[in-house]
Amino acid sequence: MTQAKNADEFIAHQKAAIASNPECGNSHYNLAVGLMGQQKYDEAEKALNEALDCSPGMAEAYVLLGGISLQRNDLEGCLKYNKMAVKAKPGFSEGFGNIGFIELQRGNLDEAIKNLEKATRFNFRYIQAFTNLGNAYLLKGRADDSIEANLKAIKLHADFAPAHNNLAIAYLEKGEYELAVQHADKAVELGYEVAPEILKEIDEHRK
């Protein structure tokens, strides 16, 4: 198939593919991806449900349905769909990462940690999951584990600001002020809004 020049052409290609083979779950899924790119979430939701009718084990479709739920501020719906994703594909790191993120938002730290650990175990390059895991460890008072997780994140991407922010806080808690200053400054340099109380504490430890 020739490469689509833009989103409208990509969507037209998928609709043509569906017209010639309505049972192809991938075409319905690809159509949904194109529609989500245009923020046509209701149409995308319909296409994803059609994809799942054709291919009930398509974990990626459940994750996108979870993404649509998140757009609607429906955390419960997002959680439900991501749980369906990991049930359909037990080693699906993105599903576990999303479950962990939602549980973190809800303050369920043990559940967040359990799922984020699975996400990073199944995909050791999942930078967002490492950072969220580091955040969850931090909130749980596990500063050393938080540092380890966030260092893995910046090893994957040296300029990932949320990980530098987490490291600044974790090093502050451990009394390793020079490292805390370095990572706080890096987070700010990268455009991250470090909490004012953290910056105030950081400034007190500058040499």
Q: What is the pLDDT of residue 95?
A: 97
The arithmetic mean of pLDDT across residues 29-53, rounded, is: 96
Query: Where is pLDDT greater, at 184 or 8?
Result: 184
| CATH number, residue 52 | 1.25.40.10
The arithmetic mean of pLDDT across residues 112-132, rounded, is: 97
Burial 19-47 (b: 16+ CB within 10 A, else e): eeeeebbbbbbbbbbbbbeeeebeebbeb
Task: Give me the percent of the chain exceeding a pLDDT of 70.
Answer: 98
Dump pLDDT digits (tens) for 147-171: 999 999 999 999 999 999 999 999 9
The arithmetic mean of pLDDT across residues 32-40, rounded, is: 94
Smallest Cα–Cα separation from 130: which of 159, 102, 166, 95? 166
Residue 1 has pLDDT above 70, yes or no: no
Q: What is the pLDDT of residue 7?
A: 85
Mean pLDDT of the chain: 95
In a domain, 9, yes or no: yes
In a domain, 167, yes or no: yes
The arithmetic mean of pLDDT across residues 20-25, rounded, is: 94
Dump pLDDT digits (tens) for 129-144: 999 999 999 999 999 9
The arithmetic mean of pLDDT across residues 188-198, rounded, is: 96
The count of structural domains within the chain is: 2
In a domain, 179, yes or no: yes
In a domain, 84, yes or no: no
| Residue-level length of the chain | 207
In a domain, 78, yes or no: no
In a domain, 75, yes or no: no
Residue 40 has pLDDT above 90, yes or no: yes
Q: In the structure, what pLDDT confidence band is assigned to residue 206 with cuts at 50, 70 and 90?
A: confident
In a domain, 36, yes or no: yes
Q: Are 96 and 115 in contact (CB under 8 A)?
A: yes
Q: What is the pLDDT of residue 3?
A: 62
Of 2-16, 39-53, 124-138, 165-179, the poorest mean pLDDT is in 2-16
Q: In the structure, what pLDDT confidence band is assigned to residue 4 with cuts at 50, 70 and 90?
A: low
- Residue finishing a domain among 56, 73, 97: 56
Q: In the structure, what pLDDT confidence band is assigned to residue 88 with cuts at 50, 70 and 90?
A: very high
- Residue finishing a domain among 9, 37, 56: 56
Burial 63-95 (b: 16+ CB within 10 A, else e): bbbbbbbbeeeebeebbbbbbbbbebbeebbbb
Range of the domain at 206: 158-207
